[in-house]
């Protein structure tokens, strides 16, 4: 080879090495690419629904009068979430989850059936943009991690696995999301780990606020606060245990316990809020199974509220100037929700679609729930008892994207009108970096 050819060959080789070095960040002496410390991801969903029943606030009081009311429709962006995480090194990590609910910010109005058919401005901390997670974590090992900040409370199947690709229905499973905060997130501390196929977690949290409990949603609003901070006059504890068995089966057990009365502003030195505790207990069993082209999920939740008959006399609940929930309707001492769903990937039987990763699940779901399962002071609201069936499809053109369609039907007691609907949704979930 001529000298000039050798010179250009050497220059070309050096340029290639430099370009390769610029394209990859390598750890010293290893020759391996160093992973980025920044993680970016998220999930979101868009839903279109037609409800073939009345939307009149008195449809349960005068059911016969509203039997033939016209259908009504709604478009919604239930959740759009951005994840940001960072690995500081030496076991220290940070995570955030910013959630945009219903496609907007600021205040909204609700037609409150359980508050005398009033129009009410809904006040939520941060409006319709919420900091759903913000935490710092120190990992000592796979089996021992401490997390402090604003964290998800993993009680129930939906809270532990709330991303839209973790359920078949267009909206989150109805019963569990109705009686429990969803997604349940509060400020506190968590110890968690995983060992030998078992994941465990214990949390210390600010207590729930009984002023926010309702007869149609039980403790659903109890974790929300209209203030700039979470009141922590009382505390709550949550725990979760997941067992990962062979063959794609996971079984979970979770629970919550805490006091809820007196956990608001102002804190009284005497009176009913200083006398009663309002003990809240929630216990939940759940499972998921993935295998042989099937996905199945199920959960059963039971909740108990102590001193429920006292809530009707609280100052914040009867004072309409307060930012808390106000109603003369009673709250039940018991609530429950149970549901099961299963779907089969029919495209798994077609070689071409099976090879390119596309999936089409035909699914069915049944659930039963009641946020007012035990009459308080002998007063019943029996329209809260619901059995619901849903059937539809989930189509995955890509593993991170799903197109959903379903027909659902709420079966109420015979003196009320059933509530059928049709929904279509598009959802995604994944890590971008």
Measured distance CA(42)–CA(84) in Å, rounded: 8
Cα separations in angstroms, 224 against 200, 208, 219, 229, 236: 26, 8, 10, 10, 14
Its pTM stands at 0.85
Output the pLDDT for position 109: 56
Q: Judge if 6 and 97 occupy the same domain.
A: no
Q: Judge if 172 and 24 occupy the same domain.
A: no
User: Taking a C-beta distance cutoff of 8 angstroms, is the pair 341, 297 a contact?
Assistant: yes
Q: Judge if 29 and 64 occupy the same domain.
A: no
Q: Judge if 212 and 360 occupy the same domain.
A: yes
Output the pLDDT for position 368: 98
| Domain span holding position 27 | 1-34
User: Taking a C-beta distance cutoff of 8 angstroms, is the pair 173, 156 a contact?
Assistant: no
DSSP letter at 336 equals E
Q: Judge if 262 and 388 occupy the same domain.
A: yes
- In tens, the pLDDT along 26-57 reads 333 444 445 679 999 999 999 999 999 999 98
Q: Judge if 73 and 214 occupy the same domain.
A: yes
How many domains does one find in the chain?
A: 2
Output the pLDDT for position 413: 96
Output the pLDDT for position 28: 38
User: Taking a C-beta distance cutoff of 8 angstroms, is the pair 368, 339 a contact?
Assistant: yes
- In tens, the pLDDT along 368-378 reads 999 999 999 99
The CATH number covering residue 189 comes to 2.40.160.10
Where the chain has pLDDT below 50, the residues are 1-33, 124-127
Q: Judge if 28 and 42 occupy the same domain.
A: no
Q: Judge if 17 and 166 occupy the same domain.
A: no
Measured distance CA(346)–CA(32) in Å, rounded: 41
User: Taking a C-beta distance cutoff of 8 angstroms, is the pair 215, 331 a contact?
Assistant: yes
The label of the residue with tokens 């039980």 reads: 218
Q: Judge if 20 and 77 occupy the same domain.
A: no
Straight-line distance from the first to the last Cα atom of the chain, in angstroms, rounded to the nearest whole number: 46
Measured distance CA(84)–CA(91) in Å, rounded: 17
Q: Judge if 19 and 144 occupy the same domain.
A: no
Output the pLDDT for position 8: 38
Output the pLDDT for position 323: 77
User: Taking a C-beta distance cutoff of 8 angstroms, is the pair 385, 419 a contact?
Assistant: no
**DSSP per residue, 142-161:** TTEEEEEEEEE---SHHHHT
Beta bridge partners of 186: 151
Q: Judge if 17 and 99 occupy the same domain.
A: no
Q: Judge if 24 and 41 occupy the same domain.
A: no
């Amino acid at each position: 080879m001529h000298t000039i050819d050798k010179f250009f060959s050497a220059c070309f080789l050096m340029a290639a090495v430099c370009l390769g070095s610029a394209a990859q960040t390598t750890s010293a002496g290893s020759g391996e690419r160093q992973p980025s410390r920044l993680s970016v991801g998220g999930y979101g969903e868009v839903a279109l629904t037609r409800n073939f029943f009345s939307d009149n606030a008195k449809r349960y009081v005068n059911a016969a009068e509203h039997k033939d009311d016209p259908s009504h429709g709604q478009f919604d962006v239930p959740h759009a979430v951005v994840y940001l995480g960072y690995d500081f090194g030496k076991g220290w990590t940070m995570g955030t989850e910013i959630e945009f609910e219903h496609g907007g910010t600021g205040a909204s109005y609700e037609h409150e059936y359980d508050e005398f058919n009033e129009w009410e401005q809904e006040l939520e901390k941060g409006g319709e943009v919420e900091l759903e997670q913000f935490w710092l974590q120190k990992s000592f090992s796979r089996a021992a991690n401490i997390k402090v900040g604003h964290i998800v409370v993993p009680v129930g199947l939906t809270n532990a696995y709330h991303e839209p690709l973790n359920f078949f229905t267009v909206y989150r499973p109805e019963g569990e999301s109705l009686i429990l905060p969803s997604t349940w997130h509060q400020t506190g501390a968590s110890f968690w780990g995983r060992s030998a196929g078992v994941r465990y977690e214990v949390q210390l949290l600010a207590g729930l606020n009984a002023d926010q409990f309702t007869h149609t949603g039980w403790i659903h609003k109890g974790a929300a606060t209209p203030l700039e901070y979470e009141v922590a006059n009382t505390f709550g504890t949550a725990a979760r245990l997941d067992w990962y068995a062979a063959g794609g089966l996971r079984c979970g057990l979770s629970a919550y316990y805490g006091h809820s009365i007196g956990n608001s502003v102002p804190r009284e030195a005497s009176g009913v809020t200083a006398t009663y505790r309002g003990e809240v207990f929630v216990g939940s069993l759940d499972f998921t199974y993935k295998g042989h082209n099937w996905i199945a999920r199920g959960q059963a939740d039971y909740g108990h509220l102590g001193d429920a008959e006292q809530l009707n006399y609280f100052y914040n609940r009867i004072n309409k100037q307060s930012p808390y929930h106000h109603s003369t309707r009673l709250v039940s001492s018991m609530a429950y929700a149970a549901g099961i769903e299963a779907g089969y990937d029919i495209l798994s039987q077609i070689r071409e679609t099976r090879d390119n990763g596309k999936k089409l699940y035909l699914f069915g779901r049944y659930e039963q729930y009641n946020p007012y399962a035990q009459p308080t002071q002998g007063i019943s609201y029996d329209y809260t008892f619901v059995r619901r069936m849903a059937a539809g499809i989930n189509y995955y053109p890509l593993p991170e994207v799903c197109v959903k369609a379903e027909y659902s039907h709420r079966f109420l007691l015979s003196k009320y009108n059933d509530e059928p609907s049709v929904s279509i949704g598009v959802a995604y979930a994944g890590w971008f970096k």
